[in-house]
Amino acid sequence: MEKAKWIWHPGSFELYHSMLLHNRRTTTRTYEGGERKSVYYYPMWRIDSPQKNAILEKTAEISEPEELEFYANTKTANMVVDGKAYPVGSCVRLEAGKHTVCLQGFKADSFPAFYVKGRVFKTDRTYIVGGSDDKRGRHAGYSEYYTEPCDNPEIFKFLYKKMYPVSKKEINGGVLFDFGKEVFGKITLNNLDGRERFVALGESMEEALDVLECQLGLNTSGTSFTSEPVAFRYIFVPELKGASAELDFEYLPLENKGEFKCEDELVNKLWDVCAYTMLLNSREGFFDGIKRDRWVWSGDAYQTNLVNYYLSNDSDIVRRTIRILRGKDPITKHINTISDYTFLWINSIWDYYFYSGDSDFINDIYPEIIDMLGFIEGRLDADGMYERKPDDWVFIDWSTFDEAGPICAENMLLARAYESISNCAKVVGDKKMEKYAYERHARIVDDINQLYWDKEKGAFIDSYKSGKRNVTRHANIFAILFDYTDKQRQESIIKNVIFNDEVTKITTPYFEFYELDAMCKIGNYKYMTDMLNSYWGEMLRLGATTIWEEFDPTKKGIEHYEMYGGKYEKSLCHAWGASPIYLLGKYALGVMPTGAGYKTYEVAPKDMGLGKISGTVPTKNGNVFVSFDGKTAEVVSEIDGGTLILGDKKYPIVKGERLIATI
């Protein structure tokens, strides 16, 4: 029998921890006389907090008596059994028959959470929102990691381990500690001299030594000082040489179930660096970067979710991320204020279902999707296309677009969101919405093909209104990736956009993700292998221990660290750079679901010029191991439903049996 879980009003756990994490960030400021300080950094979007009151209830018929033990994280809570209120700590015996158990509670400083030991009436998702709630009938929120009476959902379950600097160096009149790689956690400095002092931190050595410009620092005092958790590789303590430093490394204990090895050591190292980048950014939800912003951004998370399916395949963190991004009603702004991030949020939900098969969650989140659709449609133009509204931010990528009227790439994401909604509607059995959203998607795709295709350029242009006929890679990549145009046009795009050096190159690993996904999709694996080497490989050659937010190979030295007008403002540990894990798993090992939750899946390993490759892809119900030397493939799978595709041959994969096939 499954264990009871702590339950709460859906979203409360996520909103609570999101609220805390979004308010934990600091930055540095320079004051009169050059004094440096670390100060609180205010979040840039609306931050929601959880409900302080909650009612969750369940009605069921039991054939055997059962004992209920009632726990809550607050004294202002009752377990109401068949109308009678029992206080926290009560044990109640239910006789066989039909009963209603209603858990009601209030917690002023966080959110109420309940735990009932029992058989049928043990707490889990089957409790539903009751009382006077605006959205009665929704399932209770829960986490797979809070299943014991002694658990406290107000405390996020990180793990900790002690770490020490790998080197200590006297420099510039102070002392520089190097932890050898990017790390995160509470720093303890000992043997200080008691003075108030600004201690500089850096993802790079240059940043830490640049006391006046570094992004993060500590306001230390006393002879021993422990910081709040913070990300860095280097610590510089100015004007003092005797100090020592140690770290309580804080991390989420996600197992790297996925694996990848090949004969190109750079790619092997890259995979490890990507995995470590993921580890640092996998927390309450998926973060963008661990130094900055340390926040949950939807576009970033869209990709990180996908990487996760080939690395740890943890469902809980994906669900948490989706809930954090959704926030609370009323919806008044796009997610992170970015319209494309709202569309990607919807797409991420469908992806999650496709990789996990978790229809419970689709059912749980579906009302939130529908409300989000209402918000989106309230901001479309008369043709049902999206054009930027005041207060909205159209991001797409750090690149320049022709923003006159609706932008092509943005509306491809809108179409994709409708497609995802249609898919989700099918899962929950909402036939009307399934049809409606599918038709909306098809209509937008048609319109895009008519309005934005430039025959002469053989490409989609950003704007059909300005007459500038500006071509960027972005819409053209989406057209391939989402199959939103015919084969002929796709080929034209490859030639006239992707392999056209006059079209501005992608500089963010974020959009590299989409570009490579699209190129692999059409079978151009060499494009990816080259990019792994030239783009990601170059970061490693420059000493990266984690993947950077942005990378322009033409820059030099500390130019690489500059962004947003700040000398070191770039994040050097940005999760959106971890896509090689996803790309290598999906295309090199060739493992991907063809039915939701790997009910059916294919294994189609590719020769990408990496020599012999081998690796593991984790699925909900077991791992799929693959090796391939360009000729012979070996598959060992812990799940049913697979097909090995080698050249034009197909081989059924039998769970638990080694399958070897040769081209």
**CA 414 remoteness from chain centre:** 20
Contact 357, 303 (CB under 8 A): no
Euclidean distance between CA atoms 469 and 453, whole angstroms:
10
- Write down the least CB distance from residue 182 to a copy of itself, Å: 25
How many CB atoms within 10 Å of residue 63? 8
Helix H or strand E encompassing 187: strand 174-190
378 binds a copy of itself (CB under 8 A): no
Amino acid sitting at position 221: S
The reply to whether 95 sits near a copy of itself by the rule CB under 8 A is no
Token pair 């199959």 is found at 483
The strand pairing partners of 185, in sequence order, are 230, 249
Candidates 101-109, 237-245, 476-484, 575-583 — which segment interacts with a copy of itself by CB under 8 A? Answer: 101-109
333 binds a copy of itself (CB under 8 A): yes
Window of 80-88, 416-424, 535-543, 591-599 that interacts with a copy of itself by CB under 8 A: 80-88
Decide whether 81 or 267 has the Cβ nearer to a copy of itself: 81
330 scored as a contact of a copy of itself (CB under 8 A): yes
Pick from 118, 125, 128, 133 the residue near a copy of itself by CB under 8 A. 133
28: β partners = 38
DSSP state of 221: E
Please provide the distance, in angstroms rounded to a whole number, between the alpha carbons at the two ends of the chain: 46
Residue with Cβ nearer a copy of itself (137 or 330): 330
564 contacts a copy of itself (rule: CB under 8 A): no
Q: Which two tokens stand for residue 133?
A: 């709630």
Q: Where are the alpha helices (DSSP H) in 315-430?
A: 315-326, 339-356, 359-377, 408-428
| Residue linked to tokens 């419970």 | 360
Judged by beta carbon, residue 332 or residue 554, the one nearer a copy of itself is 332
Nearer CB in complex with a copy of itself: 390/557:
390
- Chain center to CA of 275: 13
Among 3, 29, 599, 655, binds a copy of itself (CB under 8 A): 29
| 42 in contact with a copy of itself (CB under 8 A) | yes
The pattern of x and - marking residues 612 through 631 that bind a copy of itself according to CB under 8 A reads: --------------------
Residue 37 in the binding site for a copy of itself (CB under 8 A): yes
The dihedral over CA atoms of 80, 85, 90, 96, expressed in degrees to the nearest 10, equals -50
- According to the binding rule CB under 8 A, does residue 493 interact with a copy of itself? no
Which C-beta is closer to a copy of itself: that of 102 or that of 444?
A: 102
d(CA 612, CA 94): 61
In the set 3, 35, 46, 374, which binds a copy of itself (CB under 8 A)? 46
In 3D space, the residue among 514, 186, 100 whose CA is nearest the CA of residue 497 turns out to be: 514
Residues with Cβ within 8 Å of residue 91, at least 6 apart in sequence: 67, 68, 69, 70
To a copy of itself, the closest distance from the beta carbon of 98 in angstroms equals 21
Q: Is 166 in the site for a copy of itself (CB under 8 A)?
A: no
Taking contact as CB under 8 A, which single stretch among the options 85-93, 171-179, 309-317, 587-595 is the one that binds a copy of itself? 85-93
- Gap between the Cα atoms of 608 and 524, Å rounded: 9
Give the Cβ contact number of residue 67 at 10 Å.
Answer: 12
What minimum distance in Å lies between the beta carbon of 39 and a copy of itself?
5
What is the nearest approach in angstroms of a copy of itself to the Cβ of residue 147?
Answer: 25
Q: Which CB sits closer to a copy of itself, 56 or 575?
A: 56
Options 46-54, 143-151, 407-415, 583-591: segment touching a copy of itself (CB under 8 A): 46-54
| Rounded Cα distance, 296 and 285, in Å | 7
Distance separating alpha carbons of residues 365 and 374, to the nearest angstrom = 15
Q: Does 110 bind a copy of itself (CB under 8 A)?
A: yes
Among 61, 134, 501, 502, binds a copy of itself (CB under 8 A): 134
> Under the criterion CB under 8 A, does residue 82 sit at the interface with a copy of itself?
no
Q: Report the interface residues with a copy of itself, using CB under 8 A.
A: 19-20, 23, 27, 29, 31, 37, 39-40, 42-47, 49, 51-53, 55, 75-78, 84-87, 104-106, 108-110, 131-134, 329-330, 332-333, 337
